[in-house]
């Protein structure tokens, strides 16, 4: 295996990979993302691999990360042509294989519009994909996440080469700042400014961290990104480390996703083997290593200061951030933390420039955003759209509208710390600031659709129940405030609401929001706040009538 001593060696190797691959040789990509895996896509992949073995010179089979259209898994995409087959079972394998070799299409397995019956064969015609801009996830069907060569074949690590060989750390930082890349983890804080703070902090030892602890309810896109294309995230991290002046990085992720662990572990090992991690990367004198770290199974460990405590080996309890973690983080060293999706955006910004990146999106929210679409939606899955896309496009054009012919009641964004907005705000654009103003901040990007039958008190109770269990319990307003809110909400759902409950809840929201130690507590009342803003009559009626949740 090569250990590249220079950028030229890497480029020569890339040319070698490309020369050995024929673009016209058909390739069958079987999705092994979380949803497809749950539908036993492994059996489909195994059937393809077994059947294609004698035909190795005619067709290739690849197991890949998430394609996005979770609703219709197991997904299979055949190149060239990006022919999409849905709900594929092992029994369909021989037919697809034969058709692929002959250059034909298995008509019965392609997309059929549920209303008109119209067929869509190619990815660019399938409504779910047609309205997306898949800059980050588009490569997923083309990459076996266990093979760094697949990533290199698609131009992987070219941005790292460019940064290390033709840009100074300051130039890399300036480019990211100019791109106005905002953190995808929830807050939307400009990544470049955060990088700069860590870069300028006086301590010499600095850390960079990938926050891959996706714990928000109804959010599953970071998992797809990191499992499906781990090298893209790693490349972003190495570039960031170079700009910031960090010598060590951490990938912090969940302990309960074996496939993710396998892929990330493998990616780190391969990158080290190729000399993209370690001492003197590509002969440029830049040293960087990266360690994989797992959570201890609690949501709050995704909070930046708790996460850093966890990496230190302590219990994941948040620390007050009167001194920011970008200045004093892991072991009190400056530590820059960004979310998976944020890091994944870095390589393309370096490759194509800030001007290209800022041409996508709205005035203050640039680039694309990954959104997990779920709830009462026809097409659940992982979606990538330019910032500024109206929610209507997400819900109807891509999502196919509300399930079972029902009408839309509310759109919930941002998981357990997000908010719900009524259906009549559906033309709002997907934008960090705009959505925050509406009371449904994008958060990490979990979009939950709720149909006409949804009980909004029960939704708030459910989300509060989740957060109550995930609080660390260190500070009083979060621990006690949420427990009290949960108790009151539970009473209302049981038909035992009392006069004064709304005021009690309002007080609890106010104090918990101001007095809690970390973001979990501070935003725990946000769903309820949005409900009081848009759905208060429903709460009042429930308390007055004493009717229980059905």
Partner 1 sequence: MSEINLTIDGRQVKAEPGMTVLEVARREGIDIPTLCHHEKLEAFGGCRLCMVEVESRGRTSYAVSCLYPVAPDIAVRTRSEKVDKIRKLLVEELMAHAPDAPELVTLAREYGADRNRFAREASFCVLCGLCVRYCDEVKKKNAVSFFDNGAVRQIKFVPEVAKNECWNCQECFAICPTSYAQAAYLLTEALAFPGQHQSVKRATKAAARKRVVIPIAPVPMTA
Nearest partner of 333 among 202, 194, 198, 206, judged by Cα = 206
Q: How far apart are CA 148 and CA 471, in angstroms?
A: 38
| Cβ nearer to partner 1, comparing 247 with 506 | 506
In the window 279-298, what residues touch partner 1 (CB under 8 A)? Answer: 298
- Token reading at 543: 């308390």
Residue 482 engages partner 1 in binding (rule: CB under 8 A) = yes
| Cβ nearer to partner 1, comparing 98 with 314 | 314
| Cβ nearer to partner 1, comparing 61 with 306 | 306
Q: How far apart are CA 235 and CA 169, in angstroms?
A: 15
Q: Which of 428, 472, 528, 531 binds partner 1 (CB under 8 A)?
A: 472
Residue 516 engages partner 1 in binding (rule: CB under 8 A) = yes
Task: Evaluate whether 324 touches 196 at the Cβ level (below 8 Å).
Answer: no
Alpha-carbon radius of gyration of the chain: 24
Task: Evaluate whether 13 touches 47 at the Cβ level (below 8 Å).
Answer: no
CB of 500 to partner 1, least distance (A): 10
| Cβ nearer to partner 1, comparing 279 with 469 | 469
Q: Which of 468, 493, 523, 530 binds partner 1 (CB under 8 A)?
A: 468
Contact region for partner 1 (CB under 8 A) — 45-53, 251-259, 319-327, 343-351? 319-327
CB of 462 to partner 1, least distance (A): 16
Expressed in angstroms, the distance from the first to the final Cα of the chain is 62
* CA dihedral for 172, 174, 178, 180, sign (positive or negative): positive
Q: Which of 144, 470, 501, 526 binds partner 1 (CB under 8 A)?
A: 470
| Cβ nearer to partner 1, comparing 284 with 484 | 484
> Helix H segments across 145-256?
148-153, 158-166, 169-179, 191-200, 221-228, 230-244
Residue 511 engages partner 1 in binding (rule: CB under 8 A) = yes
Q: Which of 132, 339, 372, 471 binds partner 1 (CB under 8 A)?
A: 471
> Are β-strands 408-413 and 446-451 bridged in parallel, bridged antiparallel, or unpaired?
antiparallel
Residue 304 engages partner 1 in binding (rule: CB under 8 A) = no
- Residues in contact with partner 1, counted by CB under 8 A, come to a total of 34
Residue 496 engages partner 1 in binding (rule: CB under 8 A) = no
Q: Which of 21, 279, 469, 536 binds partner 1 (CB under 8 A)?
A: 469
For 293-361, give the secondary structure using H, E and C.
Answer: EECCCCHHHHCHHHHHHHHHCCCCCCCCCCCCCCCCCHHHCCEEEEEHHHHHHHHHHHHHHHHHHHCCE
Angle between helix axes 158-166 and 340-358 (nearest 10 degrees) is 70
CB of 453 to partner 1, least distance (A): 30
Nearest partner of 262 among 37, 51, 43, judged by Cα = 37
Residue 313 engages partner 1 in binding (rule: CB under 8 A) = no
| Cβ nearer to partner 1, comparing 15 with 514 | 514
Contact region for partner 1 (CB under 8 A) — 98-106, 123-131, 221-229, 481-489? 481-489
Q: How far apart are CA 140 and CA 160, in angstroms?
A: 20
Contact region for partner 1 (CB under 8 A) — 63-71, 236-244, 376-384, 513-521? 513-521
| Cβ nearer to partner 1, comparing 164 with 485 | 485
Exposed e or buried b per residue across 200-237, where buried means at least 16 C-beta atoms within 10 angstroms of its C-beta: ebeeeebbbbbbbbbbbbbbbbbbbbbbbbbbbbbbbb
Residue 515 engages partner 1 in binding (rule: CB under 8 A) = yes
How many alpha carbons lie under 13 Å from residue 449 in its C-beta half-sphere?
29
Contact region for partner 1 (CB under 8 A) — 87-95, 241-249, 484-492, 526-534? 484-492
CB of 196 to partner 1, least distance (A): 20
Residue 109 engages partner 1 in binding (rule: CB under 8 A) = no
Chain-centre distance for alpha carbon 371: 7
Residue 487 engages partner 1 in binding (rule: CB under 8 A) = yes
Task: Evaluate whether 179 touches 358 at the Cβ level (below 8 Å).
Answer: yes
CB of 516 to partner 1, least distance (A): 8
Residue 323 engages partner 1 in binding (rule: CB under 8 A) = yes
Contact region for partner 1 (CB under 8 A) — 236-244, 408-416, 510-518, 525-533? 510-518
Residue 153 engages partner 1 in binding (rule: CB under 8 A) = no
CB of 524 to partner 1, least distance (A): 11
Q: Which single residue is written with the structure tokens 């994008």?
A: 442
Cβ contacts of 26 within 8 Å, gap of 6 or more: 58, 59, 60, 78, 79, 80, 100, 101, 103
Residue 509 engages partner 1 in binding (rule: CB under 8 A) = no
Residue 255 engages partner 1 in binding (rule: CB under 8 A) = no
Q: How deeply is 184 buried, as exposed, middle or buried, from its count of CB atoms within 10 A (0-12, 13-18, 19+)?
A: buried
Q: How far apart are CA 109 and CA 130, in angstroms?
A: 18
> Which residues bind to partner 1, rule: CB under 8 A?
298, 300, 315, 319-320, 322-323, 468-477, 479-484, 486-487, 504, 507-508, 510-511, 514-517
């Amino acid at each position: 295996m090569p250990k590249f001593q220079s950028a030229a060696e890497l480029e020569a190797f890339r040319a070698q990979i490309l020369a050995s691959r024929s673009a016209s040789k058909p390739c069958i990509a079987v999705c092994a993302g979380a949803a497809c895996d749950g539908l036993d896509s492994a059996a489909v992949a195994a059937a393809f691999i077994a059947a294609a073995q004698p035909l190795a010179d005619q067709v290739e089979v690849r197991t890949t990360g998430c394609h996005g259209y979770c609703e219709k898994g197991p997904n299979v995409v055949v190149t060239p042509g990006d022919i999409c087959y849905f709900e594929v079972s092992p029994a369909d394998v021989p037919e697809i294989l034969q058709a692929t070799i002959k250059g034909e299409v298995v008509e019965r397995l392609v997309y059929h519009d549920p209303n008109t019956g119209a067929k869509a064969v190619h990815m660019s015609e399938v409504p779910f994909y047609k309205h997306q801009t898949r800059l980050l996830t588009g490569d997923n069907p083309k990459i076996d996440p266990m093979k760094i060569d697949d990533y290199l074949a698609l131009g992987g690590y070219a941005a790292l080469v460019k940064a290390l060989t033709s840009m100074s750390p300051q130039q890399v930082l300036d480019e990211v700042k100019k791109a106005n890349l905002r953190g995808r983890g929830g807050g939307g804080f400009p990544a470049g400014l955060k990088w700069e703070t860590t870069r300028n902090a006086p301590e010499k030892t600095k850390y960079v961290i990938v926050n891959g602890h996706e714990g928000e309810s109804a959010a599953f896109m970071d998992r797809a990104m990191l499992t499906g294309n781990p090298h893209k995230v790693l490349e972003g991290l190495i570039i960031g480390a170079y700009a910031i002046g960090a010598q060590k990085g951490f990938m912090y992720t969940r302990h309960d996703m074996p496939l993710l662990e396998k892929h990330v572990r493998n990616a780190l090992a391969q990158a080290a083997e190729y000399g993209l991690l370690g001492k003197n990367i590509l002969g440029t004198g830049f040293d960087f290593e990266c360690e994989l770290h797992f959570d201890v199974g609690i949501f709050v460990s995704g909070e930046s200061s708790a996460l850093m405590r966890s990496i230190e080996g302590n219990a994941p309890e948040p620390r007050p951030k009167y001194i920011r973690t970008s200045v004093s983080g892991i072991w009190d060293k400056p530590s820059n933390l960004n979310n998976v999706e944020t890091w994944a955006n870095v390589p393309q910004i370096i490759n194509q420039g800030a001007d290209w990146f800022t041409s996508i999106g709205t005035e203050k929210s640039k680039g694309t955003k990954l959104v997990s679409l779920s709830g009462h939606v026809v097409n659940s899955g992982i979606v990538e759209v330019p910032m500024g896309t109206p929610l209507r496009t997400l819900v109807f054009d891509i999502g196919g509208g509300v399930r079972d012919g029902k009408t839309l009641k509310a759109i919930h964004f941002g998981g357990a710390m997000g908010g719900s907005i009524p259906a009549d705000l559906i033309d709002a654009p997907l934008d960090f600031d705009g959505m925050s103003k509406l009371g449904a901040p994008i958060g990490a990007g979990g979009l939950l659709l709720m149909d006409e039958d949804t009980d909004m008190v029960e939704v708030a109770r459910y989300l509060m129940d989740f957060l109550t269990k995930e609080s660390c319990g260190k500070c009083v307003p979060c621990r006690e405030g949420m427990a009290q809110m949960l108790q009151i909400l539970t009473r209302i759902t049981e038909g035992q609401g009392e006069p004064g409950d709304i005021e009690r809840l309002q007080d609890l929201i106010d104090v918990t929001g101001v007095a809690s130690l970390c973001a979990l507590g501070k935003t725990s009342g946000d769903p309820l706040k949005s409900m009081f803003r848009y759905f208060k009559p429903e709460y009042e009626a429930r308390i007055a009538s004493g009717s229980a949740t059905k």
